[in-house]
Amino acid sequence: MLLALDAPDEAYAHVSAELPALSAAGPELHRKAGALQLPMAEALRRLGRPDAAAALRSGLSAARASRLLGVGLAGTLVTAAVLQDAGDSAAAAELAAGWQQVRLTLGLPVPAAYRQAARDLDLDLTPGDPVRARAAGADLEALLSRAVRAVRAVGD
């Protein structure tokens, strides 16, 4: 919500405060807590902080390990924005196009928290059509794998 309200500093502070407690809560919550690194990465990106890539790597790995593919889809968009910010426009455009295709195939809107990243990448914000949606599990898995590989190359 804080990212949707364009309050990245508050979003970062909130997630930073919540992560230690969730990480200590038990194995299942610990794995899922890692996915909170994705909104943290977006907050850090918007704040122009170089540690966005590290949070993104951690969040994508956690989303993949926990099979939180929807979370991973959002992380893929953030990855494209981080790549663009790092000067790799070609990789950013390729990943963003893949993200857009999977999102529309699934009939999903652009998540409110990540609309700024989509705008930064000049993506169409038109909502997907849930009536025409179809399964895209394999496409989503492949896209998430590409995002994980791409963010490994981004230096901190």
pLDDT band at 32 (very low <50, low <70, confident <90, very high): low
DSSP string across the chain: -TTTTT-HHHHHHHHHHHHHHHHTS-HHHHHHHGGGHHHHHHHHHHTT-TTHHHHHHHHHHHHHHTT-HHHHHHHHHHHHHHHHHTT-HHHHHHHHHHHHHHHHHHTPPPPGGGHHHHHHTT---PPP-GGG----HHHHHHHHHHHHHHHHTS--
**Residue 123 in domain:** yes
Task: State the pLDDT at residue 101.
Answer: 92
**Residue 2 in domain:** no
**Residue 1 in domain:** no
Is pLDDT of 156 > 60? Answer: no
Greater confidence, 10 or 64? 10
Supply the range of the domain harboring residue 12.
Answer: 8-152
**Residue 108 in domain:** yes
**Residue 3 in domain:** no
Q: Give the residue-averaged pLDDT of 98-117.
A: 92
**Residue 32 in domain:** yes
**Residue 148 in domain:** yes
Domain count for the chain, please give it. Answer: 1
**Residue 26 in domain:** yes
* Rounded Cα–Cα distance for residues 100 and 136 (Å): 12
pLDDT tens digits, residue range 45-96? 999 998 999 989 988 888 888 888 888 899 999 999 999 999 999 999 999 9
* Rounded Cα–Cα distance for residues 74 and 145 (Å): 13
pLDDT band at 127 (very low <50, low <70, confident <90, very high): confident
Greater confidence, 52 or 132? 52
